[in-house]
């Protein structure tokens, strides 16, 4: 008979299960359907209910995210199960930094909506970004859980993480999360970090979060539990393993055998949740889940990309592969496969990461490093040089505006910054982002929009301006339903349908025309139907450098350009949001805007005309 060790509690990371598998999480009606069965399982002390991309996903669905959070947390609140959310410190719930007044309101709103614990992390592990969140969370009556973003580099040692944890506890953190977002933390080292923290603060609660991808995390779970960890994050089928998390059943069996006290699982309820998750996937969510995200992949140990990002990455790869192969088709070059692109991307991440100062690869910096690597790969495949397109948010990371990078920048990056006249920043990152709520209050009053219970609508607008406006106008829901319909159609296409005529934009003597083309022996329309139609707008065309969503502005500080406005070379004209990053499109020449060829929120393809400048 083994000596019984301490009790280990389980937390279901339901939101992250979906985000690590694909693009979306369930709608609120689906969430409410599954919540009672999760509670019935009887083994969870905590459930991750919101945070991160959750609210943005609701907006994309055309759902009110505040209603969704209130409805989703309530069953768990009533059952005595603690709820926790993800919080990106300086970035709040989004990919870019957030003013202090918006951050402060964030915690008040989420506490009022029923969220108990805020899991705060800074993607750079910069304590200056986390410290205000501790204060704001505690003032709102929430439990402040602060994260160590785990990665593996010459800089990120056991001592580095131990010192960071001890400093966070001294600043008032109630709990520590070991956030092993890529699952590349080495098991023994993670155990040492936990043991070091518990040696100084035996009563501090420690929760371990990891992803299964590279295959290390079951060993890591055992090591951190042996060292004194209190809570383990788990997933469950059909969204465990792969880019997701270790499955509850396996973790429980392993820890039970090791002598730990673990809760029993109501297997009937487990199967109920499992079948509901599959039902949601069959409804529409599976359309956005790459089958490859169900696979373990030891190659992930190299680039260290997080599981939460791999879900969207595989979807992005399809778009980027199409872009590369369009170029190759034009130049009679052999096409590239997705596997070839993935390996090139992993190799380029390994090249880029040390050169931009070893930021831990977690949101948003994992996306920044991956986007840089992807843009470099696309550029090099098209015969161009590296570092041609660096989004403004990525520059903010490089320049220190988002926090201090753990490592040194490479001379090639410093040189590019200096050539472009960019200034490095070493003060408190929050100073770069002045208070914003008054501006959004005025906009809401002008629009006659209700501020919502506990100012939650005001918060949502200030946190996600472009997405909130698209939600309010109804465009978000319209676009989402159209995208689902398109995905379903593509999934069910026959070879005959694939050969049907398609409409493309072509250039003839500098003039853009819409033409219909057919592949194989498909019939073309009559001559009158297929006649070229000139696209409006006089002057030089501004083309989209990549596929994504078109926006004239990215926040309320900016004023949208209009036809007739005069622009100078280097001015920001608009943005293309791709891979969760707003890429600024700048004028390459002086002139007057003669046409704007897309509406904000429209999906654009590479080389689509965005504007004309005369």
Q: Running DSSP on this structure, what letter comes out for residue 592?
A: E
Q: What pLDDT does residue 185 have?
A: 95
Report the distance separating Cα 41 and Cα 190, nearest Å: 29
Among candidate residues 288, 323, 311, 332, the one with its CA nearest the CA of residue 484: 288
Q: Say how many residues make up the chain.
A: 614
Residue pair 520/580 in contact by the 8 Å Cβ criterion: no
Residue pair 175/207 in contact by the 8 Å Cβ criterion: yes
| Least trusted range by pLDDT, from 436-445, 515-524, 591-600 | 515-524
Sheet of strand 511-517, all strands in order from the earlier edge strand to the far edge: 502-508, 511-517, 533-534
Sheet of strand 566-567, all strands in order from the earlier edge strand to the far edge: 540-543, 609-613, 591-596, 566-567
Tokens of 492: 């069910």
169: left (phi over 0), alpha (psi -120 to 50) or beta: alpha
Q: What pLDDT does residue 526 have?
A: 39
Q: How confident is the model at residue 112 (pLDDT cuts 50, 70, 90)?
A: very high
3-class state of residue 320 by DSSP = helix
pLDDT tens for each residue of 49-103: 998 778 878 888 889 999 999 999 999 999 999 999 999 999 999 888 999 999 9
In the chain, count of helices (H) and strands (E)? 21, 19
CATH code: domain 5-492 is 3.20.20.70
pLDDT tens for each residue of 486-520: 988 887 765 555 445 555 454 444 454 444 444 33
Q: Which residues contact 191 (CB under 8 A, 6 or more apart)?
A: 220, 223, 224, 226, 227
3-class state of residue 522 by DSSP = coil
| Least trusted range by pLDDT, from 39-43, 412-416, 489-493, 593-597 | 489-493
Q: How confident is the model at residue 218 (pLDDT cuts 50, 70, 90)?
A: very high
pLDDT tens for each residue of 341-388: 888 888 888 899 999 999 988 878 888 888 888 889 888 888 888 998
Q: Which residues contact 104 (CB under 8 A, 6 or more apart)?
A: 136, 139
pLDDT tens for each residue of 193-215: 999 999 999 999 999 999 998 99
Query: Are the folds of 5-492 and 536-614 the same?
Result: no
Report the distance separating Cα 550 and Cα 381, nearest Å: 24
How many of the other CB atoms lie within 10 Å of CB of 547? 19
H-assigned helices in 423-474: 437-447, 456-463, 465-473
Q: What is the arithmetic mean of pLDDT over 421-437?
A: 93
pLDDT tens for each residue of 15-24: 999 988 888 8
CA 234 from chain centre, in angstroms, equals: 20
Q: What is the arithmetic mean of pLDDT over 554-583?
A: 84
Report the distance separating Cα 39 and Cα 321, nearest Å: 42
Q: Residue 273: CA atoms inside 13 Å, Cβ hemisphere, count? A: 25
Per-chain mean pLDDT for the chain: 87
Name the one residue in this structure whose structure tokens are 């673990």: 262
Q: Please state the domain extents for the chain.
A: 5-492, 495-535, 536-614
Name the one residue in this structure whose structure tokens are 């990056």: 413
Straight-line distance from the first to the last Cα atom of the chain, in angstroms, rounded to the nearest whole number = 84
Burial of 310 (0-12, 13-18, 19+ CB in 10 A): buried
Q: What pLDDT does residue 240 have?
A: 94
Q: What pLDDT does residue 203 have?
A: 97
Q: What residues pair up with 250 in beta bridges, in sequence order?
A: none
CATH code: domain 536-614 is 2.40.50.100
3-class state of residue 12 by DSSP = strand
Q: What pLDDT does residue 502 have?
A: 52
């Amino acid at each position: 008979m083994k000596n019984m060790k301490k009790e280990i509690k389980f937390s279901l990371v339901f939101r992250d299960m979906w985000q690590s598998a694909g693009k979306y999480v369930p709608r609120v009606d689906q969430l409410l359907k599954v919540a009672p069965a999760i509670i019935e399982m009887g083994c969870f002390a905590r459930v991750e209910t919101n945070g991160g991309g959750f609210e943005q996903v609701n907006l994309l669905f055309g759902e009110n995210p505040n209603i969704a959070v209130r409805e989703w947390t309530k069953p768990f609140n009533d059952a005595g199960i603690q709820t926790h959310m993800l919080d990106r410190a300086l970035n709040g719930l989004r990919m870019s930094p957030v003013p202090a007044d918006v951050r402060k309101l964030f915690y008040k709103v989420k506490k009022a909506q029923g969220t108990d614990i805020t899991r705060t992390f800074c993607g750079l592990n910069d304590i200056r970004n986390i410290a205000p969140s501790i204060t704001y969370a505690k003032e709102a009556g929430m439990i402040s859980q602060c994260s160590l973003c785990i990665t593996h580099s010459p800089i990120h040692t056991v001592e580095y993480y131990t010192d960071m944890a001890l400093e966070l506890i001294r600043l008032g953190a109630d709990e520590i999360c070991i956030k092993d977002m890529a699952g590349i933390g080495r098991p023994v080292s993670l155990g040492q970090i936990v043991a070091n923290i518990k040696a100084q603060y035996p009563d501090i609660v420690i929760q371990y979060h990891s992803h299964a991808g590279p295959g290390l995390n079951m060993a890591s779970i055992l090591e951190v539990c042996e060292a004194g960890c209190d809570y383990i994050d788990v997933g469950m089928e059909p969204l465990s393993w792969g880019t997701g998390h270790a499955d509850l059943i396996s973790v429980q069996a392993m820890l039970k055998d090791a002598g730990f006290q673990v809760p029993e699982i109501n297997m009937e309820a487990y199967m109920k949740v499992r079948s509901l998750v599959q039902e949601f996937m069959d409804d529409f969510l599976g359309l956005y889940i790459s089958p490859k995200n169900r696979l373990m992949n030891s190659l992930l140990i190299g680039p260290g990309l997080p599981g939460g990002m791999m879900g969207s990455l595989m979807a992005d790869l399809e778009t980027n592969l199409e872009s590369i192969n369009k170029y190759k088709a034009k130049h009679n070059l052999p096409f590239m496969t997705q596997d070839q692109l993935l390996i090139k991307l992993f190799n380029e991440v390994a090249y880029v990461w040390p050169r931009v100062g070893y930021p831990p690869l977690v949101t948003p910096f994992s996306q920044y490093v991956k986007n840089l690597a992807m843009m470099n790969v696309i550029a090099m495949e098209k015969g161009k040089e590296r570092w041609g397109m660096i989004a403004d948010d990525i520059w903010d990371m490089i320049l220190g505006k988002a926090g201090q990078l753990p490592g040194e920048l490479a001379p090639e990056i410093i040189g590019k910054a200096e050539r472009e006249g960019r200034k490095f920043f070493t003060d408190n990152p929050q100073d770069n982002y002045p208070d914003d709520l008054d501006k959004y209050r005025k906009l809401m009053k002008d629009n006659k929009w209700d501020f919502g219970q506990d100012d939650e609508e005001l918060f949502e607008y200030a946190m996600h301006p472009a997405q909130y406006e698209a939600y309010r106008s109804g465009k978000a829901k319209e676009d989402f339903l159209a995208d689902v319909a398109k995905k379903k159609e593509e999934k069910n296409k026959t070879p005959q349908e694939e050969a049907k005529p398609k409409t493309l934009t072509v250039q003839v003597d500098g003039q853009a025309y819409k033409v219909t083309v057919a592949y194989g022996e498909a019939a073309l329309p009559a001559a009158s139907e297929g006649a070229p139609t000139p696209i409006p707008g006089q002057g030089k065309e501004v083309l989209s450098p990549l596929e994504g969503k078109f926006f004239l502005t990215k926040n309320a500080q900016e004023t949208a350009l209009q036809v007739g406005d005069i622009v100078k070379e280097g001015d920001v004209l608009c943005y293309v949001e791709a891979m969760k990053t707003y890429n600024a499109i700048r004028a390459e020449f002086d002139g007057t805007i003669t046409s704007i060829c897309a509406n904000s929120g429209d999906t654009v393809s590479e080389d689509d005309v965005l504007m004309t400048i005369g």
